[in-house]
Structures are given as C-alpha cells and as structure tokens.
Amino acid sequence: MLEDSPRPIRFVFRGQTVEVPAAEPTRSVLQWLREDARACGSKEGCAEGDCGACTVIVAELADAVQGDSRAVVRDGVALRPVNACIRFLPTLDGKALLTVEDLAGSGPDATLHPAQQALLDTHGSQCGFCTPGFAVSMAISHERHRCSGRRPGRAELADDLAGNLCRCTGYRPILDAAERMGEQPQHGLALEGLADALRALQTAPALDWPGRYHAPRRLDDLAALRVRLPEARLVAGATDVGLWVTKQLRSLGDILWLGDVAELRQMRVADGGLSIGAAVPLEDAWHALARRWPALTEMGRRFAGPPVRHAGTLVGNLANGSPIGDSAPALIALGARLRLRRGARRRELPLQDFYLDYMKNALEAGEFVEAVWIPADAAASAEGWTLRAWKISKRFDCDISAVSAGLAIRLQGDAVVEARLAFGGMAGIVKRAAAAEAAMQGQPWDEATLARAMTALDTDFSPLSDLRASAGYRRLAARGLLQRLWLETRTTNPLPADALRAFAGTH
C-alpha cells in the first residue's frame, strides 16, 4: 500500500483482525459479507432494515458505552444487533462483527447456540430465509436475559424479535423457541479474547478518506470539519440515509460519521434537564426518557425494531425532520431544546422552532445538532402536568405513523393552565396545534372545552391523503387522540389507560 493512500478499515471478524482497503464508503456490511467474505448466512430481504433477515451483531469495547446503555455487556464487550443491509462498512472500523455463523462457535467441541437448538427443537424454521436473522436476534435476547439472571415472558420476547419478519413459518413456533432458550445449557456467545483484540485496534488513527469519508473522534475536530465541509452528509446511524443508497441509488458525497465522537455518545443531567448527545443510540436514549416519563414506554416499543433502534439515534430522528418521525411530537410536548454548534459557537433553539417547512430546518451552513435537552420539570415531574404519547399505524410493530401525537397538559383544579399539543403526520412538519391549545387555555377541562379544541384542530392542520391514510382519517384520528387525552385526564371519573387502548386505533 502506498504511504499516501487512505488507511484501510480494520475490524475483528471470525476472531481475526481484517483489513478492507478504502473503497466506496456507502458499501454495506451485507455486501461485504456475501460478496467478499463469502459469509452467506446473513440474507438480503428488504434492503431497508425492516425484515431483519440480515441481522448481525456489532461489538465494541464496553468502556466506550455508558453505564445505562441498553447494549448487552459481557467480558468487557458491548453487543448490539444491527441491520447489515443499511450499515455502511467503514462504520465497523475499530469494532467487531459477529454473524449467524459465529453463534455456535468453532472447533470439534462446538455445539449449537441455545437459540439455534431451540429453533431446531420447536420446528421454528420453514423456508429458512428469515431464520438466520431470528437466530441472531434471539442470541442477543438470550445474552441479555442470561446476564440479568431472569426468565423473560412471551410478550417481552416478542418485543425482542420485533425487528424480524417471517413470511411462512408463523410466529408461534419462533416464540416457542425463544421461550425454550432458557431451558438450554447456559452457554452463550464465544467472546474470549475479543476485548483485547478491540483494544489493539484503538491505537490506529481516526479513519479519514479525503473527499469521501471522515470519522473524527473529538467533538472539536468534527466541528472544524463541518465548517470546512458544510455540504457533507452527517451520518449517525444510517437507518434513514442507508435507504437513500439501497432504494434510491443516491450518492451521498462526503460523509461525516458521528458514531466515533465520544462526547456525542453521552447522556447526562445538565442545566436542570437531561442532555442526550447526537450519537446516543435511540434504544439507549428512549429508555432513559421512558424511565423519567413512563408515558413514553409504549411509543418506545413501537419505534422501529431493536436492530434499527440500536443503530439509529434520537437526535438523528429529530434532525432528519420527517413529518412522520415518532420522536418529535413527544419531545416538543416535553419542551425539548436543540443544542446547535458551528465551529466554536453554540446556540440553543426550541425543537418546535427547528422545523421550517417540509424537510427544511433552521440549521446554518456548517452547523450541526450537538444534543437535545429536555427540561427535568417537563410534563411528568412538575405538579399538575400530564404527558401522553400515541402512535397510529397499520401495524403495531415497525410501522410508519399515519398520525402521532405528543400531548402535555397542566391542570390547576379543573382548569387548563397550559397545553402543548404536538402532532405528526398532519402537516409538512411536526408542529403544535396552536388553535386547539388556545381553545383550552384557561378553560375548565370539560366536554365543552374538549369539543371546541377538537373543532379547532381543523384550523390547525390541512393533512394530505397518501397510502398510509386519507386526510379525513387523519383529522378524525387526531380528534380521537385529543378525546382520549380528555378521557384519561378529566378531573371527574378519569378512565384508566388500559381501558382505552383500542379507543383511537393505536393497536
């Protein structure tokens, strides 16, 4: 290799450090596996992170993640399931890749992993195309619950497998297999020596391919690069821009990878609130939010599947600006603010003011989102505040919203002191229902006020019809969610949430 040529990608695979020469930065992990490594166990199904047939495990040193991380941590290594079809190969630099072929280990004494044995025993595979992805997701689930020392219930196991689809076997025998795993001998993934191999990779300089791919490790370096390359594509998880490549065949140009910037991977209590860095995985970030505001728990379960949530980031979902993004309505209702940076200059902006028009935001040239900050006294901990977050879609798991809502209301006695009603899927951006809020402000929280607020929603939004829902349905659904809020929070005879689960079609 010439001295002035870009350094190769280095990562651990099959227990060995491999080097892949600098190439197209948007080449996927799955393409490398099947075409170069000839490891064809991982399958290509949807090429968009939806079916889970390509699920693999990415491992890194455990000291690179926070204590409240949702990664599985064992033997000094943190493990996460991700979709190989939309994971860009250079993002593996300094990490390790495990696939379905690694589950059983190697050597003459190797035995099937409990996930594999359970699938075999329960006839959990028919055509077999989806089976490798299910086996990997089950192996991660097995590691998590084995480390915790408890047996999960069937519903929890179904959540663990929400990122995997099966077309022919049916989910009953697969879930049977997931339950059966706990009855298998308690061995797991072979991780011996992996931490040492990963530690050896940390001595290499940051990966930088001029004109193609940049992976800074320091926040100041990222800020300088962003000013120098204001048109470069920021990538934190590629769970959205990966589809631009696989489905739209778009060239991304220069890529700035955020995933190796240590400062952006932090969550911390700051300035009386919770600060979540731009590279914190969505799985970790939403778990932290739901611990503080339990009303967000169900939205988190329905927010994509585990492989997407472990790869994508909360800030990426916010910065993307999709009007049907699941996080923005809830965080606007919570009064979230974005912390922006351009070079050495920092500023803050309310999240609700970040969105200007369809896929247009308030970022200046060379500026990026450093973190999102949510006030600690937002809509669950302060006296009188109540928060709800709901999503309406055709499927419960892994589906795009037709309508979503983040609704926060503060009552004093039986009167509405303040309301923050944010809706997604109702306009070109996620935005608050200003007229409906005004109709509630200072009014008794009774059925008459509810009726005025529901009518006012028609002046707040002019939704479009598309394949997910008609404009009329969206209007009706938004009204229904507001009515559900009233039914759960009215001062006289409020109804429990469980009694209303089917009320607005949220399942």
Q: Which of 287, 274, 367, 275 is nearest to 319 (CA)?
A: 367
Q: Which of 264, 276, 267 is nearest to 218 (CA)?
A: 264
Q: How many CA atoms lie within 13 A of 163 on its CB side?
A: 33
* Token duo for residue 223: 């800020």
Give Cβ neighbours of residue 61 (< 8 Å, ≥ 6 apart): 76, 77, 78, 195, 198, 199, 202
Q: 471-489 vs 447-460: helix axis angle to the nearest 10?
A: 150
Look up the pTM and report it. Answer: 0.94
Q: Residue 316 — φ and ψ, nearest 5°? A: -60, -40
The letter for the amino acid at 184 is Q
In Å, what is the CA distance from 140 to each residue of 55, 86, 188? 11, 19, 9
* Token duo for residue 506: 């949220």
Strand-strand pairing, 255-257 and 213-214? parallel
Secondary element (H or E) of residue 59: strand 55-61
Instruction: Spell out the per-residue pLDDT of the chain, length 507, in tens.
Output: 444 679 999 999 999 999 999 989 999 999 999 999 999 999 999 999 999 999 999 999 998 887 678 999 999 999 999 999 999 999 999 999 999 999 997 777 778 999 999 999 999 999 999 999 999 999 999 999 887 777 899 999 999 999 999 988 889 999 999 999 988 766 789 899 999 999 999 999 999 999 999 999 999 999 999 999 999 999 999 999 999 999 999 999 999 999 999 999 999 998 889 999 999 999 999 999 999 999 999 999 999 999 999 999 999 999 999 999 999 999 999 999 999 999 999 999 999 999 999 999 999 999 999 999 999 865 444 566 899 999 999 988 888 899 999 999 999 999 999 999 999 999 999 999 999 999 999 999 999 999 999 999 999 999 999 989 999 999 999 999 999 999 999 989 999 877 766 544 444
Q: All domains of the chain, ordered by start, with CATH? A: 114-183 (1.10.150.120)
Q: For residue 92, with 0-12 CB atoms within 10 Å meaning exposed, 13-18 middle and 19 or more buried, which class applies?
A: buried
In Å, what is the CA distance from 99 to each residue of 73, 84, 102, 309, 392? 17, 10, 5, 19, 34
* Token duo for residue 292: 């503080």
Quote helix, strand, coil % in the chain, to nearest 5: 35, 20, 45
